[in-house]
Chains A and B, each alone.
Chain A
Amino acid sequence: AQTVTQSQPEMSVQEAETVTLSCTYDTSESDYYLFWYKQPPSRQMILVIRQEAYKQQNATENRFSVNFQKAAKSFSLKISDSQLGDAAMYFCAFGFTGNQFYFGTGTSLTVIP
């Protein structure tokens, strides 16, 4: 079965600090994509960062970076220098082009001024 687990329903971080959101997944496939999506109060789904499973190098996008451990099936998101605008629900997901995508249950991030 293909599953995604986000074990932290809620997290909080002080503004300007760093926070890491955890994600583990399970698949028997070897070639897939991994994603973190952000859903702010507007409820729009916004892609934060993506990672191809065949790439060993961890993806980074400005203040956002991932720690991808393929053997452990772990894909955590690190947010550096947290800003008030980072407050949102974060969904971890993996999928295959043209086929199904699998989402975690989400982590609600609060940024404390």
Chain B
Amino acid sequence: DSGVTQTPKHLITATGQRVTLRCSPRSGDLSVYWYQQSLDQGLQFLIQYYNGEERAKGNILERFSAQQFPDLHSELNLSSLELGDSALYFCASSAPSTGPNTGELFFGEGSRLTVL
């Protein structure tokens, strides 16, 4: 168990709809990352937050948005969904505020989104 919790684990929706994916980072981790992984593809970096502020942005579509809240949990909002948005969305966390820092990314189990 990485300590990173993602909900929901599975989500099926229709084109044009909007969904919200939620991530609770490992206790004390300040940084949250979102990645998209389509079938048989690599990890596409979407966005990173550090202690509530956006720190880095990758190939995130304008239809997608994210935020990190004061309690450090994060949400990824996907709107006007298209068939091509079907993918596994990973949240990861790092940068502990206390204790040893191993430098690694801790991944959640992912939210599997299917757009029909």
A interface vs B, CB < 8 Å? 33, 35, 37, 43-45, 47, 50, 52, 91, 93, 95, 97-101, 103-106
The answer to whether A45 and B95 touch across the interface, beta carbons within 8 angstroms, is: no
Q: Which of B10-18, B41-49, B59-67 makes up part of the contact surface?
A: B41-49
The answer to whether B31 and A98 touch across the interface, beta carbons within 8 angstroms, is: yes
Inter-chain contacts of A33 with B (CB < 8 A): 103-104
Chain B interface residue number, banded = 20 to 34
The 7 closest A-B pairs by CB, nearest first: A33-B103, A45-B107, A98-B95, A105-B42, A100-B56, A103-B43, A106-B42
Closest to A103 in B: B43
The answer to whether A99 and B103 touch across the interface, beta carbons within 8 angstroms, is: no
The answer to whether A98 and B30 touch across the interface, beta carbons within 8 angstroms, is: yes
Could you tell me the distance between the alpha carbons of A6 and B69 in the complex, rounded to whole angstroms? 35
Judge whether B76 is part of the interface by a CB distance below 8 angstroms. Answer: no
- Given known A-B contacts A98-B31, A99-B55, A103-B43, A45 and B104 have beta carbons under 8 A apart: no
